[in-house]
């Protein structure tokens, strides 16, 4: 079936000498993987390798057989040309990390318009603004809303956040916890928008510890989740 849909590129791997395997989150069908034959050698075709950088926003014309095999793309065009996401070193490190997190987290091969709209909005916001040091923390916490395990914020009076239960407790449990200085800043991130990120001040050590806990939160709630390899690069950039 031929479809025309928006798509956000997550990963792009070289296949052979001239081809790419691209994983993308589509507006129409959720997660899809495509084989782009000869795209690295073709200079006159409708597909260009530069379109398939991480988190590029495209409109594609694709053939979806929906048989669990690699699909194909006939045409592609960029819907939002980025000003800074792939040229600013900090933003580019964020892009690589977030693309890997998304690729490891989104598993559904079905339409999820709310999640697609969230990704569209946040990537446009990041492209237009200076990258706040806590952007990735808020991005990932908000992402859990669409993946089904956003923290229970009905009662935040507890001094401990139980990562396995996803709720605040007044007494510690044997499960992995967010506590101490981390819990104060964790609470500040819950429920705010990206424009308010400048009000959340954290140092490097605290930010890295919080990120470790947030990634562990994903591990505990997503079957088969893998830790991102790009985390070390992200930490180095933010030092």
- DSSP letter string, 42-57: -SSSS--GGGGSTT-E
Gap between the Cα atoms of 105 and 218, Å rounded: 8
The reported pLDDT for the residue numbered 109 is 82
* Per-residue pLDDT, 236: 73
Instruction: Encode pLDDT of 132-167 as tens digits.
Output: 999 999 999 999 999 999 999 999 999 999 999 999
Residue 232, pLDDT above cutoff 90 = no
> Measuring CA to CA, which residue among 176, 66, 82, 168 is closest to residue 125?
82
> Cα separation of 114 and 109, whole Å?
14
Note the Cα 90 to chain centre separation in Å. 16
**3 state DSSP class of 234:** helix
**Helix, strand or coil, per DSSP, at residue 150:** coil
| Among candidate residues 126, 152, 133, the one with its CA nearest the CA of residue 200 | 133
Question: pLDDT band at 212, cuts 50/70/90?
Answer: very high
Cα–Cα distance for residue pair 193/201, rounded to 1 Å: 15
Record the tokens describing residue 49, joined without a space: 């390798």
32 pLDDT tier (thresholds 50, 70, 90): very high
Could you tell me the pTM of the whole model?
0.93
What SS3 state is found at 222? coil
- Report pLDDT for 176: 97
Domains of the chain listed by start with CATH number: 2-78 (2.40.50.140), 89-237 (1.20.1440.120)
Taking only the tens place, the pLDDT of each residue in 35-72 is: 999 999 877 778 999 999 999 999 999 999 888 789 99
Angle at 45 between CA 86 and CA 85, to 5 degrees: 10
The arrangement of strands across the sheet holding 160-162 comes to 167-169, 160-162, 177-178
- Which stretch of DSSP H or E encloses residue 4? strand 2-15
Helix (H, G, I), strand (E, B) or coil at 154: coil
Cα 168 to Cα 158: distance, rounded to the nearest angstrom: 5
User: In this model, does residue 237 exceed pLDDT 70?
Assistant: no
- DSSP letter assigned to residue 152: B
Say which DSSP state 160 is in.
E
């Amino acid at each position: 079936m031929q479809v025309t849909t928006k798509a956000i590129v997550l990963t792009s791997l070289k296949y052979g000498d001239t081809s790419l395997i691209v994983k993308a989150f589509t507006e129409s069908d959720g997660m899809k993987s495509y084989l782009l034959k000869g795209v690295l050698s073709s200079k006159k075709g409708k597909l260009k390798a530069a379109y398939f950088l991480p988190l590029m926003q495209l409109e594609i014309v694709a053939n979806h057989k929906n048989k669990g095999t690699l699909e194909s793309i006939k045409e592609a065009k960029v819907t939002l040309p980025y000003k800074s996401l792939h040229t600013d070193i900090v933003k580019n490190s964020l892009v690589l990390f977030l693309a890997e997190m998304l690729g490891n987290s989104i598993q559904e091969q079905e339409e999820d318009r709310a999640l697609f709209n969230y990704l569209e909005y946040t990537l446009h916001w990041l492209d237009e603004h200076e990258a706040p040091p806590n952007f990735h923390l808020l991005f990932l916490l908000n992402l859990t809303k669409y993946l089904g395990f956003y923290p229970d914020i009905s009662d935040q009076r507890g001094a401990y956040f139980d990562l396995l239960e996803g709720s605040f407790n007044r007494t510690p449990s044997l499960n992995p916890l967010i506590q101490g200085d981390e819990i104060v800043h964790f609470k500040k991130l819950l429920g705010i928008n990206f424009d308010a990120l400048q009000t959340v001040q954290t140092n490097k050590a605290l930010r890295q510890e919080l990120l470790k806990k947030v990634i562990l939160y994903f591990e505990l709630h997503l079957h088969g989740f893998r830790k991102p390899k790009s985390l070390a690069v992200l930490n180095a950039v933010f030092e």
